Amino acid sequence: MGRALVTGATAGIGAGFVEALGARGDDLVLVARDEQRLEELAQRWRSAGREVEVLPADLSDRVGMARVEQRLADSGRPIDVLVNNAGFGLTQSFVGGDLAAEQAMLDVLVTAVLRLTHAAVPGMVERGQGRIINVSSVAGWIPGGTYSAAKAWVTSFTEGLALDLEGTGVRAVAVCPGYTRTEFHDRAGMRMGGVPDWMWQSVDDVVAQALRDVERGRVISVAGPLYRSLGVASRHLPRAVVRRATGRRPAR
């Protein structure tokens, strides 16, 4: 098996990828802000026989981002799977909102994905193998402020990347979850009581579908018939209808 680097590794979908990748035998490089939680997670997988590195980093900070870039570019300890998962959510409106918070969100959701992928891909192409898994969102299909715009960028970026990588042995997939039961909404201060149970999906389903899809060469991964149907509808309905029909809360 190979070595996987996962950002946002200690919670939610990131933790789900760590679970799945560790269970299949991959060694792990765990990236998140909370060093204590990273160490606790690392100890569990070390006990299971995996080689685990802990890399505390805040991806809204260029210094922290650069540390992860350097690790990805280290040819002596190659990374076979990069999971760009680190999340960021805001409850504010863009108009009148805090600009620094908006910029920090874009740094995590867009700039980090761009720079970490750029650091990882050359070595993967040289070795003729590798996987880039970018966690996007169904929110990228609808108008929802900076968050939706950032996720739309992640999906489009991944589609272009996949074209660039054709014939190299390296594959890229954009994972587009819907409402998923994680810490994400609570940490962002979002009230989600109005979302019915049938719209929620599990982390395990999202991760399992993503890992299947990247091996099949699919570029966009959507778990479950509900969100696949919504994806089709969002692409074919008039944009004015989509704007009126959708809210502003991030789904991931």
Burial class (CB in 10 A: 0-12, 13-18, 19+), 168: middle
Q: Tell me which residue of 206, 184, 205, 204 sits closest to 195, measured CA to CA.
A: 184
Q: Is position 114 within any domain?
A: yes
Longest Cα–Cα distance of the chain, Å, equals: 54
147 a catalytic residue: yes
Which pLDDT does position 137 carry in this prediction?
A: 93
Domain count, the chain: 1
The parent domain of residue 164 ranges over 3-245
CATH number, domain containing residue 104: 3.40.50.720
Q: What type of residue is 34?
A: D
Per annotation, catalytic residue among 45, 88, 141, 147:
147
Quote the pTM value. 0.87
Q: What is the mean pLDDT of each run of 10 residues along the chain (252 residues)?
A: 94 96 98 96 97 98 97 97 92 89 96 98 98 94 87 97 98 92 54 62 95 97 78 63 55 50
Q: Is position 250 within any domain?
A: no
Q: Tell me which residue of 52, 44, 115, 119 sits closest to 86, measured CA to CA.
A: 115
